[in-house]
Every structure is written in structure tokens, then in C-alpha cells.
Amino acid sequence: MSSLLLSLLFVPLAAALLLLVGRSFLSQGAARRFALAASVVTLLLSLSLGNEFRHLPSGGPRLSPVEPRHAISYHWFNLNHAASDTNSAAANADPLNFSFVFGVDGISLTLIVLTALLTVSGVLISWEAIRDRASGFYACLLLLEAALMGVFMAFDLVLFYVFFEFTLVPLFFMIGIWGGPERRYAAIKFFLYTFAGSVVTLLGLVSLVLAASSAGIATPTSLPALARWAVEHPLKPEWQIALFLAISVGFMVKVPVFPLHTWLPLAHVEAPTAGSVMLAGVLLKLGTFGLLRICLPLFPHACQTVGVPLMAILAVAGIIYGSLCALAQRDIKKLVAYSSVAHLGFCVLGLFALNSAGISGGVLQMINHGLSTGALFLLVGMVYDRYHTRQLDDLGGLAARLPLIAAIFVFITMSSIGLPGLNGFVGEYLSLVGMFRREPIYAVLGTAGVVLGAWYMLTMLQHAFFGQLHEPLHGHGEPPIRDLTFREAVAVVPIGALCLWIGVTPGPLLEIIRPDVDAVVAVYDEYLPPNERVAAKRGRMQDAVGREHFAPAPSGTAFIPMPSPRAPKIASLPHPALELARVETPSSSASATRLSPPATER
Amino acid sequence: MPENIQYLVMWLIPIAPLAASVVTATLGPRGLREKSHLPCWFGLAVATVCAYVLLFSIVPTGFSEHGTTPVVASGYSWINAGGIDVRVDLRADGMAAIMLSMVTAVSLLVAVFAAGYMHGDPGYARFFAAFSLFVFSMCMLVLAPSFLQLFVFWEGVGLCSYLLIGFWFKKPSAAAAAKKAFVVNRIGDFGFLIGIFLIWTTFHSLDFSTVLGNTNQLAQLAAEQPGRITLICLLLLLGAMGKSAQFPLHVWLPDAMEGPTPVSALIHAATMVTAGVYLVARCTPLFIYSPTAQVVVSCIGAVTALIAALIALTQFDLKRVLAYSTVSQLGFMFMALGAGAAGAEAATHATTAAMFHLYTHAFFKALLFLAAGSVMHAMGDVIDIRRFSGLRRALPITHWTFLCGAAALAGVPLLSGFWSKDEIFAVVYHAAHGDHYGRVFCIVFVVAAFTALLTAFYTFRAYFLTFWGEERFPEEAGHHPHEAPPVMAGPLRLLALCAVVIGGLVGLTGWFGTFLHHSAGLAEAHEHGLSPGLMSLSVTLVAIGIGLAWWMYVRSPELPGRVAVALGPLYHASLNKLYFDEFFWTLLVAPLRAVAWLASWFDRGIIDSIVDGIAHIPRLLSNVPMWFHGGRLPAYALIMWAGLLACLLFAMGMLPYTIN
């Protein structure tokens, strides 16, 4: 398991370095074959990681809201702060211990597999399109894959931040060297904008680590330790708010949350297809992933008081505004880029519902958006490879010429607009229903985006694929226009199959992320009004009993005081909804009391 | 019947069409080609047989003295997260079984017809794949045990409708109509989805059995939070209005006629558009507690029925006349659904009336569309009734079957439409004498009567214009128009038989009502006898309508032109569909487009400019030090001297704030 985890990081990294070293003498053909082999190996490794993951012991008692289910840690260095501070009482304390922690939990596992899958598609779609300096291009792509893997595996802040920033470098070169006509401007803007945001995040992270170390945490950069500390000794509200705001700035730029999104359409339009696929498919998820990993578990108070209104309003604004902007675009790629703004709005909306339905929906939405938007960019790339234009005004009725591509396009469009039965719906539904429970008005406004989403995507389909055939003039020397080739089919069909699979049976995926989502949500149970708290906990415990995820926690290790003495009294209130809940779960109160350690023992 | 056989039979109903769809989609274009209809026929036949087994021997086993125990065939857990546990199961009660018997039978007949109609089309396999997928979705919708599963397949039928309206995607009008149907439906779905959220937060469940089955709980909730129940009902109604093309969301249905005619017959007349009626009928236990919501349902139905009938009066496209008549008849069903405001028993009668009309309407409307398709087939795809006439000799089968359908639609006595329309009159009349909103229902009743008159008139107008008068063919038809081949004539004959007898068969015997009363959640109700007064009223209306049509279009054909001139603006309003499309365009579409354009401009012009502006600040700031490094020697000298002076003064201790 450990070696598998590290090989996921080092296989693409080593392949990228080899390609860089050999860039002077490797031909285009050799480079792309080598890159394909490396990315396929990584994909297989990630799949076998998923397989191993199923055999992991399914989570004992949770010590912390963020906890890898398998971790490797490497000691980095010790810092004995007692040396510089001889007078303090901490002289006898343990030295500060900085180490690298790689790990994997359900959420990161799904994103790791997504990254590996999209990289393979990225290599395949660049097969013919990238002729110039191919070796360097594939090196950048694999480097990007390695960096993304690193972010998802990182369970300490140093690794997280380093990989988080490092993803910028390969993508900067991909846009800047292999991009469209305005590639330099786009690359620099992309880099500076996201970098500027990340610097604020760094400031926040450093203050957080300083605060933790001065509070006596021996490993102040380890996320599980920090999260546990934050639960047991919540930070002062004003500190939480300040740190939350600072840390989320970088993530908000990355997501991108309205109004920090303007780098995105430009970067997408100028990026080569593989770059767009990785950017939309995985890179944007770093923002939401960061919010979920760091902001949600560490700053519960700030998320509740500032986070919910701020993020939900921005997310709703992003959904509606992004949809409207998409409606006005004439460039298919830009349209899809703006649709990303709207879709990630749903994701943020789900995360900041701060309940299991919402957060599960948010995580699912990350994966769904990666799949469907990744596939859309692949398809747009296929059209562009054939016609060298993406303008709706230059294209029309392509379904007559490219029936298979059109069929897949319609399929992926349906997934993207959240047709039930395909993946998009499950994520959107859970996100919205979660938010509806917290603040109905945001969910209602978000749902309006569903109508707009159908409108702009179907308008695009109507203009590009239906109606009279209308294609740009075709040069004599060029090969004739062909429908989907085998190589393209291999790039896009697995993604489509996954869309269908997740839509029909989201169960396994939800099962994988459930323990990690529940662990984060448990932080927020303390903030619920008492009657809902009981209900929420009972619901989760029920799930746990059914699936044996939560083992009965030994007393003293549970990190949240359970209000079991109050449970029976509140459950007997004559509230119809609660009555109903009780009728449905006859054994719930018994199981709840059995599972919860009494508050006094803690 | 053993349980595992029951389970198998129930699952076969949706699975057989799904399998047919998958087989056709994968093998069709390359392997099956001209035989692509065979998997579809086979799948639908299996589904039909199973549906009738369900109707006659599975569901009745659950009937008891009061109500019924629905039969449930369990599936799998679909979404399970955060306390939401949604399963995919099949649940059948009386209402579902009746619906299914209609859906599968009509779709089988339409599929047989379509094999003849679509023969030779390049998208033959695609057509049957989408067609089977539609039947699958529709069966799953009807068999849904929960609101969410219903919604899933509600969208599923929407997708199939989108694919089939846009089947001839090379026609720009078809592509636009497909998009319009989907987007307008999405507006309804917006309400439906929020309704589902609200149901979930209110009842903590989405299962019909939990939400609708528990009468005490509903009564308690209605007493505590009447507003919430009304809100849920109205949101569900919004969804139903989208799918069932009710005012003001009816605009998509006439445009949907761009699809192949069998599609119009099945999806946009007989089955999918009735899903909204089915939803509201299903939720009757909820609507009982909100008379306000019920009266809204009735009023929307009345308005829809009236305006659709008014538009249908002047249309020249045969399929559009039928489309508007569909909208109008769906309005009738909504009128009936809302007429249960007087109490639980009245609600049972109202739901029965609506479902009865849904049932008979499916047969005669499918028949009318298929007959219109047969006309189109013979006329070389011309459907404008001004371009042909007197077809009764050239197309005898089509003529007779169309006449059966038209008579049934108009409500000619003893035919299907007569019985079901009469039931609707009865419940609305009853509601007009009730305590809740009696005056409103009086108006609804008057509207219903007037619309029935209009229905008879416009149906027979279309009939006379098509089949009577001098024999004329458009040039597209060639010299000798050919009557429908057997594969098309067979379904027409069978449907004509149904249109004639089925209303009397299931309605008059009381079978329909008895069966439906066993649906979960409907209160026990006594059969109410036929009322001679209402019947004579409806007979009179039909006679006037048909007589007027005969007088205007057969006796003195110059009259309609004079009437049109005399009525001037009214005529043009009707001809232009009361300007609804233009209204929506100026009020909704164009402003949204403008806002979208504005947003896009704002994005580039304002937000991005601010970003770029901020990015320029460092450059502006850098101008200050740049001035010092401008290469001007005097400036360097000046700074040097100033620095030296400062050092000197500092050394001499003459500067303030020096160290120590």
C-alpha cells in the first residue's frame, strides 16, 4: 500500500524527468508512446490502490475529522523552540517535529483515480495535435499529474502547499508554449492571479502553524493533528474568521468563485486541449478540495458564521452569472469554461451546506464536473482538430457529418446539465438538498441555475450539431473529415461509461467517501440546535451500524461530546417530523445510546 | 401467484423495453438496419403482456375492504447519503396498473404503425432505440415508489422526448422545438425539484407510502402548517404544468409536432404529457388538505382548455389542431383533478374522472394522430389542410378511423370521450355546489361546457376540411395517393375499436372507478349515478358544435372567410396562437439574452478590467523608484549630495531621533 501510494507520485515524476532529459533526441512518436505508457501505468496503479483501499480496515474510532486511512510519514527535521526561548515553560516540551505525511482517504482516492484517468485521455487527445516539442509537452503533462497526485496525498500543510503551488508551473508552460494566439498573456495572468491568491493562503497557513506550535502541538504541520487540536480547543472566533478568510482566498481563486473567476475563461480558451482537460477536470478541484480539507474541519465557527453566507451567496451568484455568461458566448470552449464557473458553484454550495448530504454532494460534484467537463473539452478539442475553429457561427449541423461525436456530445451534455440517471444529477441533487436544509433560499436560487444550464448547453448543441450542415471551407491538402477515431474513442468512452455508472449506481462511490465526509460533518454537530443534533447523529449512527464503519468508540477517544442523556427527552417531543423519524427507525435510540460514550467519561 | 414470479413480471415491464433499446442502439445501425423495429416490437409485447398480468392478477390480490396494499418489487439502494436513502423499486397499485395497461398497449400499437411510417428513414434504428427507451422511462415513472424516482424518469421521458422531437435534426425548426420542449419543461422541473426538497424537509422521506399513506400525519400537518402543504402542492403543480403543457407552459407542445408523427401520437398526446396528470392524481391525498391548491389546479385547467380550444379553431396544420386539442383535453383533466375541493369523497370522484379521461383520451388521441400520420404519409408529408380535401374516397380506412377518433374526442354519445367528459362535468358541477370556492367552480363549469362546444366544432372542422369537399391532392402526393399499408392500417383499426367502445366498457360497468378506488390514499367513495341533465347538456353542445362545423365547412364553404373578416383581430389572434410565443419572447427570452450579453460584457469590461487594473498597480508604483534610476546625472549627483549631507548631520548628532 505504501509503495503503491508513493509510486503514484514517482512514476509520473520519473517519466516526466526522463522525457525532459531526452527531449533533444526523442521523436514525437517515441515521446507520446512513452507518455502513454507512463500514464496508463499510473492509471493501473491508481486502480490497484482503489482495490487495496477496499481491503483496508474500515476505519476504527476517528480521532480527528481529517484522518488518512493509510499514511506514511517521513521525518523531516526537528525544531527545538526551547533553545531560542529559554525562559518559557515550554523548555521541557517535545521539540517541534516537522515531517512529510502522505496518506489516502476516500475523498483523495476518488480524486487520484480521476486525475490518472484524465491524464491518459489528455495524452491520447494530444496525440496528433501536439507536434512541436512533443517531449516537453508530455513531460509537463506528467509533471502536472505528479503534482496533483501530491496534493491529494498530502496530509501535512507543507507538502500540501508545495504541491498546490507546483501545479502552476507545468500548466504555465503548457499554456504559454503550446497554447493559442494569446497564450503568453493568458499564461501570465493565470499564473499571477492564482499565485497572488495562494500567497494570502500561505500567510494564513503560516499563522495557523505558529498558533498551533505555540499551543504546544508537537507536529504543527500535520493536518490530522491540527484538526484534532482545533476540535478539542477551538480557536477564538475572531481568529477563526481571520484565518478562514485568509486561507480561503487562494482556494476561492482556484475554484474559481465569482468574482475571482476571470482568469479561467481566458486560460481555457488559450490552453491546448489536454491543458483544458486537466485544468477543468482536476486543477479547479484543488480549490474545493482545499476548502474541504483545511477550512471546513479547522474553522467550524467561521464556516458557520461567515462561511455559509459568504460562500453560498458567491456560489449562487456564480451559478447564475456563470450561466448567463455562458449563454452569451459564441466560442464553444469559452462557453464550457463559463459553465465550469456555474458547476463549481453547485459544488461550493454543497460543501458549505455543512451537513453530510451537502458535503457528499459537493465531493460527488467535484468528480462529476471533472468527468463531464473533462469530456466536453475533449470533444471540443476533437471538433477543433477537424475544423480549426470553435466559433458557433462557423459550425452547424455537424451531427450529419460526425454522428458518433455528436451522439457522445449529446450524452455528455446531458450529464453536464444534470439529467437524472447520469452522474451530474446525483451531485447536484445532494448539494442542493443539503443547502436546502441549511438555507432554503440559496438552494432555490441555485436550482434556477438548472434551468439556465439546460438552456445554454442545448442552445450550443442546437447551433453546432443540429440544423443545416455548415462547416468551414476545407483545404485541399488536408485529410478528409472523419468521425470519431479509435484513439479518440479510447480517450472519451471510458469517461462516458463512468458518467453512466455513477449516475445509475452512485452507491459505491458514496460509500467510499462516507466515513471521511461524516468525520468532517461531526465537527458541526455541536452547532446544531439540540433536537436536530440528535436526529443528525442518529441518522449517521444508523448508517454506521448498518455498514460497520464506525466501530464503537472507546471512551476517551471520541472527539465530540455526545449529548446522549438528552436524547430520549427530545425525541419524545410531539413534532411530526421527529415522530416520523422515530417510527422509521425503531432501534435508533437504542443504538445511539449503545454507541455513544457518555459525555462525562470524556 | 408466487412471489418470485410476481417480481419477475413486474421487473420485465420496464426491463424488456430497456433491453430492446440497448440492443437496437448497439446493433441497429450496423446489424439490424431495416429490421430495427423487431427488438422494439418484441420488448413492448413482453411489457404489454406483463402489464396485463399485473393489472388482472397481481394488483387485485392486494385489494382489501378499504384501499389496497401496493405490490412492491424491490430493486437496489440508489442514493444513500446524509440521511437520504432513495431506492429504485417498483410499486404497483390500481392507478399504476391502469396507467401501465394503457401505456404499454398504446405504445405497442404505435410501434407497429411506426414500422410502416418510418420505413426507409436513415435514422430507423435510432428512432426505435429512443422509442423503446421512452417506454422504459415511462413505465419506471408510473411504477415509481417515491417522488425522486418519479422525478428521475420524469426527466428520462423528457430526454426521450427531446431526442425524438429533434429526430430530424437537419430541420432547424425541429432542433429549435426540441430545445424549447426541454427548457420549458425544465422550468416546471424547477418547481418539482424544490417541491421534492420541501417534501423531504417536511416528511424526512420521499416514499409515497410514508408521505401520502399516513393520513393522520397529513391531517396533523395540515392543521399545524396549512401554508406548507399548499406550497408543496403548488410546487408539484408547477412541475405537472410543464410536463402536461398547461398554461402558461403549454407553448412547447404544439412545436413538438416537428417530431415524427408516431412520436406525436405516443409521447405528445397519449402518454408522456399525461404524466403531470398522473403526478397530481397520485398526490391527491396531499391536495385534499389544500383547497386553495385544488382550486388553482382547476383554474389553470380551465384557462388552458379554453385558450387551447380557441387557438385550435383556426389552425391549418392538421397536427397542430390535434396538438392544441391535446392541450385542451389535458386542461379538462386538470379541471377535474381540482374539483375535489369539497372533501375526501369528492376528491376520489374527481381523481377517477381525471384518470378516466386520461385513459380514454390516450386511445382516441393516439388514433387521431396516427390517422393524421396516415394522411401525411399519403399526401407526401403535406399536413396543411388547405392543400388537400375530399380524401374520404381515396383513403377509406384512414377516413373511417379518423372519424371514430374525432367523434370520440368531440364527445358523441356512447363513444369513449362522451363517458369520460361526462364524468368531468359531473365532478365540476358537484364542486360548484360545494362549500369551498363554489363560485369559482361555477365559472369553471361554464368554461368546461363552452370548451366542449368548441372541441366538437374544431375537431369536425378539421375532419370536414380533410375528408369532405372536392377531391384535391398536393403535387407532393403524386397522382394516386396510396392508402396506409396493412402494418399501419392494423393499429388504426384496433385503436378505432378502442376509441369507440373502451369508454363504455370500463366506465359504464363501473370497473374503472372500482379499480381506482383501491389506489393507495384515495378515500372510499360510492358510485354516483349518471345524471340525465348533464348528459343532455353535453349532447346538445356536441350537436351544436358538429352542426356548426358542417354548416360552415360543408354546406356553405364561403362562410368561414366572411366570419374571419368580420371578426378581424380576434381571428388573427387565434391564428397567431394568441401571441404567446411573441409574448414569451419579448418578456422572457429577449430580456434574458440581453442580460446574458450584459453579463458577458460586464465580465470582460468591468471585472476583468479591475483585475488588470490591480495588476498594473505595481507597475505604477515602480515609476517612483524608476525616476531615481532614470540615467540623469544631475539627479544622481543631487541624491548623492543629499545623502552625504544627511550622513554628516547624523554624525554630528544634529538630526532628531538618533540612536541613544
Interface of A with B in 257-316 (CB under 8 A): 259, 262-263, 265
pLDDT at position B587 is: 87
pLDDT at position A287 is: 92
Which run of H or of E encompasses B186?
helix B172-203
pLDDT at position B619 is: 81
In terms of C-beta distances under 8 Å and separation of at least 24 residues, what long-range contacts does B69-75 make, across chains too?
Answer: B70/B96, B70/B145, B70/B209, B70/B520, B71/B6, B71/B10, B72/B145, B73/B6, B73/B7, B73/B10, B73/B11
Q: What is the mean pLDDT of residues A70-92?
A: 63
Q: What is the mean pLDDT of residues A551-579?
A: 37
Q: What is the mean pLDDT of residues B505-524?
A: 75
CA distance B380 to chain A (A): 22
pLDDT tens digits, B103-115:
999 999 999 999 9
SS (H, E, C) B527-538: CCCCCHHHHHHH
Task: Please state, in angstroms and rounded to a whole number, the distance separating the CA atoms of residues A252 and A290.
Answer: 9
**Residue A447 and residue B596: Cβ atoms within 8 Å?**
no
pLDDT at position A594 is: 34
Which run of H or of E encompasses B86?
strand B84-92
C-alpha grid cell, residue A423: 452522474
Cβ neighbours of residue A262 under 8 Å, at least 6 residues apart? Answer: A193, B603, B607, B608, B611
Per-residue pLDDT for A576 more than 80?
no
Name the percent of chain B lying above pLDDT 90.
38
Q: Which of A357, A451, A462 sits opposite B190 (nearest CB)?
A: A451
Please check whether residue B306 is in contact with residue B448, taking contact to mean a CB–CB distance below 8 angstroms: no
Task: Please state, in angstroms and rounded to a whole number, the distance separating the CA atoms of residues A590 and B237.
Answer: 41
Name the percent of chain B lying above pLDDT 70.
97
pLDDT at position A113 is: 94
Question: Which residues from B are below 8 Å from A581, CB to CB?
Answer: 204
Per-residue pLDDT for A92 more than 70?
no
When scoring A266, A349, A355, A433 by the number of chain B Cβ atoms within 10 A, the one with the most, hence best to mutate, is: A433
Q: Which of A193, A262, A577 sits opposite B603 (nearest CB)?
A: A262
**Helix and strand counts by DSSP (H, E) for chain A:** 27, 2
Please name every residue paired with B72 in a beta bridge, in sequence order, or none if there are none: B91
CA distance B273 to chain A (A): 19
Amino acid at position A574, single letter: P
Please name every residue paired with A391 in a beta bridge, in sequence order, or none if there are none: A331
Verify cis geometry, omega within 30 degrees of 0, for the bond prior to A170.
no
Q: What is the mean pLDDT of residues A507-529?
A: 84
φ, ψ of residue A456 in degrees (nearest 5) = -70, -35
Q: What angle do CA B268, B272, B274 make, to 5 degrees?
A: 100
Residue B193 near chain A (CB below 8 Å)? yes
Per-residue pLDDT for A566 more than 70?
no
Burial label, A589 (beta-carbon count in 10 A; 0-12, 13-18, 19+): middle
pLDDT tens digits, A535-545:
555 555 444 43
Question: Which residues from B are below 8 Å from A517, CB to CB?
Answer: 81
When scoring B600, B616, B619 by the number of chain A Cβ atoms within 10 A, the one with the most, hence best to mutate, is: B600
Q: Which of B156, B163, B210 sits opposite A421 (nearest CB)?
A: B156
Please check whether residue B197 is in contact with residue A432, taking contact to mean a CB–CB distance below 8 angstroms: yes
Please check whether residue B242 is in contact with residue B188, taking contact to mean a CB–CB distance below 8 angstroms: yes
SS (H, E, C) A465-526: HCCCCECCCCCCCCCCCCCCCHHHHHHHHHHHHHHHHHHHCCHHHHHHHHHHHHHHHHHHHC
Q: Which of B84, B172, B597 sits opposite A433 (nearest CB)?
A: B84
Chain B residue closest in CA terms to A406? B169
Residue B149 near chain A (CB below 8 Å)? no
Name the percent of chain A lying above pLDDT 90.
45
When scoring B24, B26, B80, B217 by the number of chain A Cβ atoms within 10 A, the one with the most, hence best to mutate, is: B80
pLDDT at position A432 is: 93
Please check whether residue A329 is in contact with residue A268, taking contact to mean a CB–CB distance below 8 angstroms: no
**Residue B190 and residue A448: Cβ atoms within 8 Å?**
yes
> How many other C-beta atoms lie within 10 A of the C-beta of residue A551?
14
When scoring A266, A404, A429, A442 by the number of chain B Cβ atoms within 10 A, the one with the most, hence best to mutate, is: A429
pLDDT at position A58 is: 63
Interface of A with B in 310-369 (CB under 8 A): 321, 324-325, 327-329, 355-361
Burial label, A587 (beta-carbon count in 10 A; 0-12, 13-18, 19+): exposed
Cβ neighbours of residue B445 under 8 Å, at least 6 residues apart? Answer: B425, B428, B429, B432
Q: What is the mean pLDDT of residues A505-526?
A: 87
Cβ neighbours of residue B604 under 8 Å, at least 6 residues apart? Answer: none
pLDDT at position A529 is: 60
pLDDT tens digits, B597-621:
998 899 888 888 888 888 888 888 8
* Pairs across A and B, CB distance < 8 A: 173
Per-residue pLDDT for A349 more than 60?
yes
When scoring B162, B229, B611 by the number of chain A Cβ atoms within 10 A, the one with the most, hence best to mutate, is: B611
pLDDT tens digits, B117-129:
888 888 889 999 9
pLDDT at position A589 is: 38
φ, ψ of residue A70 in degrees (nearest 5) = -150, 135
Q: Which of A263, A514, A577 sits opposite B203 (nearest CB)?
A: A577
Per-residue pLDDT for A546 more than 80?
no
pLDDT at position A575 is: 38
When scoring B162, B186, B592 by the number of chain A Cβ atoms within 10 A, the one with the most, hence best to mutate, is: B186
Residue B210 near chain A (CB below 8 Å)? yes
Please check whether residue B417 is in contact with residue B358, taking contact to mean a CB–CB distance below 8 angstroms: no
Please check whether residue B408 is in contact with residue B499, taking contact to mean a CB–CB distance below 8 angstroms: yes
pLDDT at position B165 is: 92
Return mean pLDDT, chain B. 87
pLDDT tens digits, A368-422:
999 999 999 999 999 998 888 888 888 888 888 888 999 999 999 999 998 998 9
**Residue A360 and residue B81: Cβ atoms within 8 Å?**
yes
CA distance B615 to chain A (A): 9
Interface of A with B in 404-443 (CB under 8 A): 410, 414, 419-421, 425-426, 429-430, 432-434, 436-437, 440, 443
**Residue B81 and residue A447: Cβ atoms within 8 Å?**
no
pLDDT at position A60 is: 60
**Residue B186 and residue A454: Cβ atoms within 8 Å?**
yes
Residue A20 near chain B (CB below 8 Å)? no
Please check whether residue B492 is in contact with residue B484, taking contact to mean a CB–CB distance below 8 angstroms: yes
Task: Please state, in angstroms and rounded to a whole number, the distance separating the CA atoms of residues B546 and B458.
Answer: 9
pLDDT at position A502 is: 93
Per-residue pLDDT for A554 more than 60?
no
Residue B197 near chain A (CB below 8 Å)? yes
Interface of B with A in 77-96 (CB under 8 A): 77-84
Task: Please state, in angstroms and rounded to a whole number, the distance separating the CA atoms of residues A288 and A297.
Answer: 13
**Residue B203 and residue A580: Cβ atoms within 8 Å?**
yes
Task: Please state, in angstroms and rounded to a whole number, the distance separating the CA atoms of residues B609 and B600.
Answer: 13
Q: What is the mean pLDDT of residues B166-187?
A: 91
Q: Tell me which DSSP letter residue A102 carries.
A: E
pLDDT at position A581 is: 37
Please check whether residue B33 is in contact with residue B125, taking contact to mean a CB–CB distance below 8 angstroms: yes
pLDDT at position B605 is: 85
Q: What is the mean pLDDT of residues A82-98?
A: 55
Return mean pLDDT, chain A. 82
Per-residue pLDDT for A53 more than 80?
yes
Q: What is the mean pLDDT of residues A99-122?
A: 91
**Residue A357 and residue B595: Cβ atoms within 8 Å?**
no
pLDDT at position A544 is: 42
CA distance A460 to chain B (A): 10
Please, which pLDDT band fits residue B545 given cuts at 50, 70 and 90?
very high
pLDDT tens digits, A464-514:
999 888 888 776 667 778 888 899 999 999 999 999 999 999 988 998 898
Burial label, B201 (beta-carbon count in 10 A; 0-12, 13-18, 19+): middle
Distances (CA, A) of B487 to A202, B110, B115, B175, B569: 74, 10, 7, 29, 45
Question: Which residues from A are below 8 Å from B203, CB to CB?
Answer: 577, 580
- B419 or B28: whose pLDDT is higher? B419
Closest CA to A343 of A265, A421, A427: A427
Name the percent of chain A lying above pLDDT 70.
83
> How many other C-beta atoms lie within 10 A of the C-beta of residue B313?
16
**Residue A324 and residue B596: Cβ atoms within 8 Å?**
yes
What is the torsion angle, in degrees rounded to the nearest 10, for the CA atoms of residue B435, residue B437, residue B438 and residue B442?
-170
Interface of A with B in 26-65 (CB under 8 A): none
Q: Which of A443, A451, A577 sits opposite B187 (nearest CB)?
A: A451
Task: Please state, in angstroms and rounded to a whole number, the distance separating the CA atoms of residues B487 and B48.
Answer: 19
Q: What is the mean pLDDT of residues B128-154?
A: 93
Interface of B with A in 601-630 (CB under 8 A): 603, 607-608, 611, 615
Per-residue pLDDT for B33 more than 60?
yes
